[in-house]
Amino acid sequence: MQRFRSGERAVFRLLVARHQDRVFHFILRQVRQPETAAELVQETFLRIVKNADSFRAEARFSTWVFTIARNLCVDALRRQKHRNTVALDAPLRSDESDGATMLDRVKDLDPLQDDRLGDRRFSAALREALASLPSEQREVFLMRELEGLKFREIADVVGVPENTVKSRMRYALEALRQRLGVFGVD
């Protein structure tokens, strides 16, 4: 980012290549619409260009990127509340109650992937369990478990004390354990 700010515009491609997929998957898990997620990723990187001078060199670039992405998600979800949307886990064909879903078509780079995720029932239960979490808990869980951010970094992104982040994570884990207990998740 320092090189970009000092005038090396070509280095921006490297920043995008390095962070684009992680940001997309983070946003997708928040807004649950691939088209919206793609638009928000573009907006995230546009804001990085527009606000390059406000980047603090002592901060991690990834923390700044996720802060921007999270804020865009919050705004998009507020707007989305008033619109009718189709769930990503709803069947693509209206005449099938258990057919393929949009989530089946989205490339899954989920680090939580293990043998149980190969089981469609577990995958559906996991998506439902994550969707049922309050947004504050879901975003903390996603940033910690899927993006690998530290609690301090999440606190910076979300703008709350680190202990609040840890508390949200604990409640998220308890809720997920309870909802996924039938699959042997503890």
| Residue 77: CATH number of its domain | 1.10.1740.10
Which CATH number goes with the domain that contains 133? 1.10.10.10
How many domains are there within the chain? 2
Residues 79 and 126 grouped into a single domain? no
Supply the pTM of this predicted model. 0.58
Tell me if 145 is assigned to some domain: yes
CA-angle at 80, arms to 86 and 129, nearest 5° = 60
Tell me if 13 is assigned to some domain: yes
Residues 46 and 81 grouped into a single domain? yes
Residues 79 and 132 grouped into a single domain? no
Nearest to 46 by CA among 68, 25, 63, 19: 68
Q: Which domain holds residue 182?
A: 114-186
| Residues 145, 98: Cα–Cα separation, whole Å | 29
Tell me if 94 is assigned to some domain: no
Residues 77 and 126 grouped into a single domain? no
* Cβ 158 vs Cβ 135: under 8 Å: no
DSSP, collapsed to helix, strand or coil, labels residue 154 as helix
Tell me if 69 is assigned to some domain: yes
**Tell me, what's the pLDDT at 104?**
58
* Cβ 71 vs Cβ 78: under 8 Å: no
Residues 5 and 83 grouped into a single domain? yes
User: Which residue, chain included where needed, has tokens 């996720």?
Assistant: 66
Residues 1 and 84 grouped into a single domain? yes
Per-residue pLDDT of the chain (186 residues; tens, 9 = 90+): 888 888 888 889 999 999 999 999 999 988 888 999 999 999 999 999 998 888 887 778 888 999 999 999 998 888 876 554 445 556 656 565 566 665 555 445 454 554 544 567 777 888 888 889 999 999 999 999 888 889 999 999 999 999 999 999 999 988 988 888 777 665
The 10 Å CB-count burial string (b at 16+, else e) for 50-89 is eeeeebeeeeebbbbbbbbbbebbeebeeeeeeeeeeebe
Which of residues 80, 109, 138 is at a domain's end? 109
Tell me if 95 is assigned to some domain: no
pLDDT in tens, 113-152: 545 445 677 778 888 888 899 999 999 999 998 888 899 9
Tell me if 97 is assigned to some domain: no
Chain CA centroid to CA 57, Å: 24
Tell me if 96 is assigned to some domain: no
Which of residues 49, 79, 109 is at a domain's end? 109
Could you tell me the two tokens for 120?
């469609």
Tell me if 98 is assigned to some domain: no
Could you tell me the two tokens for 157?
């992104």
Residues 132 and 85 grouped into a single domain? no
Which of residues 63, 78, 109 is at a domain's end? 109
Residues 46 and 13 grouped into a single domain? yes
